[in-house]
Amino acid sequence: MDLSLSKQQAELVQTVRGLAETEIKPYIQGRDFPNKDGFDWHLVNKLSELNLVCPTIPVEYGGLGLDIFTTCLVVEELAAACSGLTAVVDANVHAVQPILLAGSERQKQRVLPKLAGSNASLSAFALTESSGGSDINSMTTFAEKTAQGYVVNGRKDYILNAPQAEFISLFAFSDRIQKKSSMRCFIIPRDTPGVSTGNVRDMAALDYAEIAEVVFDNAAVDQSMVIKSDEPYSGYLLLSQTFDIGRVLVGATSVGISRAAYELAYGHADGRIQFDRKIKNHQAVSHTLAEMATRIEMARLITWKACWLIDKGDDFTVASAMAKLAASTIAQEVTAEAADILGARAYEKGSPMERLLRDARILSTIEGTNYIQRNIIASLL
Ligand SMILES: Cc1cc2nc3c(=O)[nH]c(=O)nc-3n(C[C@H](O)[C@H](O)[C@H](O)COP(=O)(O)OP(=O)(O)OC[C@H]3O[C@@H](n4cnc5c(N)ncnc54)[C@H](O)[C@@H]3O)c2cc1C
């Protein structure tokens, strides 16, 4: 296994790191989110200029066509600067994944070019409901078969990009008894009559991203926008594959957050004098920094291993669940230790460290909770 980056990958990392330092970090510092005047497109537009709003869209549809490993390199850099912006990108990659895995040529032509290029729109992935997050069988959103396709009724909750998304990848049941085996993925254009934004959730993390309910009130979806055939469990399988890939993005986000926390802690420890010496020269602090650096490397490697399996087309379900579980747990440990090293200043509202603490905490819930990751790993041991 060769862990070195190609010349193009190394250049891309430098480009995104440059954007993070010159545009993203200065922009979010001292700004309150959510923006009272509606979603702030500034940072999305900056990413658009690099065609990085949804990096996995293939070149033939206007995207960069990055593999999952290279996408995760980008995600780590973005997360080290602004996890909210990273969440916007992660949601896009997640929403597009069912189309890449199983969409028809017509669906790809219709959707993908709009989410790529220098004027890219956003998309959303809609699964969770107030009745069911972990327990998919308790979802109530229902797609009723009609002569032309389906009519959808229900509400999805805690959906990233919901207020802005031009397309929504919706997972819903089409049979009230068969439930899971009747699950379908519907690609729903935002301007479909009956589709609207419900309650906007005021979240205590991922500043910049917007999260809300999506409401479907007799929303008619043409058959041409339904992914996959009528085979039992095909929609559920597609959902599982999409999650397996999405989880490594949380791994990479965790690494970015951890790295940013470590850098803040190291910088502070190198400047702060207590008891007549830099605090990094107190052994307890230097050992903590050494452990933080070691665990970040572990998180990065387990994430890269999962990416490697995905890009190779090997079985990656356990690897991606382990990457999500391990890297998000490490992010919580590392941010807590970094805050200890920063002392009181770690808790100033809106400061970089305070943001990192909040963002790391939420990682154990998104993309399937860490208890659910343990269930997945245990079931496949
Ligand atoms: C910031 C953020 C962004 C999100 N974005 C999206 C999005 O874009 N699209 C989307 O569809 N969803 C999104 N979600 C929702 C997310 O996927 C769910 O929150 C998650 O799946 C958990 O569901 P829940 O919150 O309903 O918790 P519940 O499912 O109610 O779980 C509550 C607790 O019970 C535990 N639990 C439940 N069942 C089991 C079990 N069998 N074994 C062990 N433990 C169990 C869980 O692990 C958890 O600790 C987002 C959530 C957040 C916080």
Q: Is the CB of 353 under 6 A from ligand 1?
A: no
Ligand 1 centroid – CA 287 distance (Å): 35
Ligand 1 centroid – CA 262 distance (Å): 28
The topology (CATH level 3) of 235-379 is Butyryl-CoA Dehydrogenase, subunit A; domain 3 (1.20.140)
- Measured distance CA(63)–CA(340) in Å, rounded: 42
Domain locations along the chain: 7-119, 123-232, 235-379
Q: Is the CB of 369 under 6 A from ligand 1?
A: yes
| Whole-Å CA distances, 135 to 81, 90, 132, 175, 227 | 33, 22, 5, 17, 22
Q: Is the CB of 371 under 6 A from ligand 1?
A: yes
Q: Is the CB of 85 under 6 A from ligand 1?
A: no
Question: Could you write out the DSSP letters of every residue in 107-119?
Answer: HHHHHGGGGSGGG
Count of CA atoms in the C-beta half-sphere (13 A) of 325: 16
HEC-encoded secondary structure of 310-347: HHHCCCCHHHHHHHHHHHHHHHHHHHHHHHHHHHHHHH
Q: Is the CB of 122 under 6 A from ligand 1?
A: no
Contact 129, 155 (CB under 8 A): yes
Sorted by sequence, the CB contacts under 8 Å of residue 351 that are 6+ apart come out as: 345
Does the pTM surpass 0.85? The reply is yes
- Measured distance CA(163)–CA(40) in Å, rounded: 12
Q: Is the CB of 44 under 6 A from ligand 1?
A: no
- Measured distance CA(51)–CA(32) in Å, rounded: 26
Contact 188, 149 (CB under 8 A): no
Residue nearest to atom 27 of ligand 1 (CA): 133
Kindly state the average pLDDT of the residues 214-227: 96
Kindly state the average pLDDT of the residues 280-298: 98
Ligand 1 centroid – CA 211 distance (Å): 14
Ligand 1 centroid – CA 340 distance (Å): 29
**pLDDT tens, 174-217?**
999 988 899 999 999 999 999 999 999 999 999 999 999 999 99
Sorted by sequence, the CB contacts under 8 Å of residue 6 that are 6+ apart come out as: none
Looking at residue 33, its pLDDT comes to 81
Paired with 143 in beta bridges are 152
Do 7-119 and 235-379 come out as alike in CATH topology?
no
Domain 123-232 maps to which CATH number in 3.40.190.10, 3.30.950.10, 2.40.110.10, 3.60.20.10? 2.40.110.10
CATH superfamily entry for domain 7-119: Acyl-CoA dehydrogenase/oxidase, N-terminal domain (1.10.540.10)
Q: What is the rounded average pLDDT for all residues in the chain? A: 95
Looking at residue 342, its pLDDT comes to 98
Residue nearest to atom 51 of ligand 1 (CA): 366
Count of CA atoms in the C-beta half-sphere (13 A) of 23: 16
Sorted by sequence, the CB contacts under 8 Å of residue 332 that are 6+ apart come out as: 360, 361, 363, 364
Ligand 1 centroid – CA 87 distance (Å): 16
Looking at residue 240, its pLDDT comes to 94
Give the atom of ligand 1 at the shortest distance from the alpha carbon of 367. Answer: 17
Residue nearest to atom 14 of ligand 1 (CA): 158
The proportion of the chain whose per-residue pLDDT surpasses 70, expressed as a percent, equals 99
Q: Is the CB of 366 under 6 A from ligand 1?
A: yes
Kindly state the average pLDDT of the residues 249-271: 98
Looking at residue 229, its pLDDT comes to 67
**pLDDT tens, 302-312?**
999 999 999 99
- Measured distance CA(87)–CA(95) in Å, rounded: 12
Substitution site in 157, 365, 367 for ligand 1 pocket (most atoms within 8 Å of beta carbon): 365
Flag whether pLDDT at 35 surpasses 90.
no
Give the atom of ligand 1 at the shortest distance from the alpha carbon of 362. Answer: 53
Q: In this structure, what token pair is assigned to residue 246?
A: 């999405």
Q: Is the CB of 95 under 6 A from ligand 1?
A: no
Ligand 1 centroid – CA 27 distance (Å): 31
Q: Is the CB of 128 under 6 A from ligand 1?
A: yes
Substitution site in 366, 373, 374, 376 for ligand 1 pocket (most atoms within 8 Å of beta carbon): 366
Ligand 1 centroid – CA 275 distance (Å): 46
Substitution site in 33, 96, 158, 325 for ligand 1 pocket (most atoms within 8 Å of beta carbon): 158
**pLDDT tens, 337-375?**
999 999 999 999 989 999 999 999 999 999 999 999 999
Kindly state the average pLDDT of the residues 49-64: 97
The proportion of the chain whose per-residue pLDDT surpasses 90, expressed as a percent, equals 93
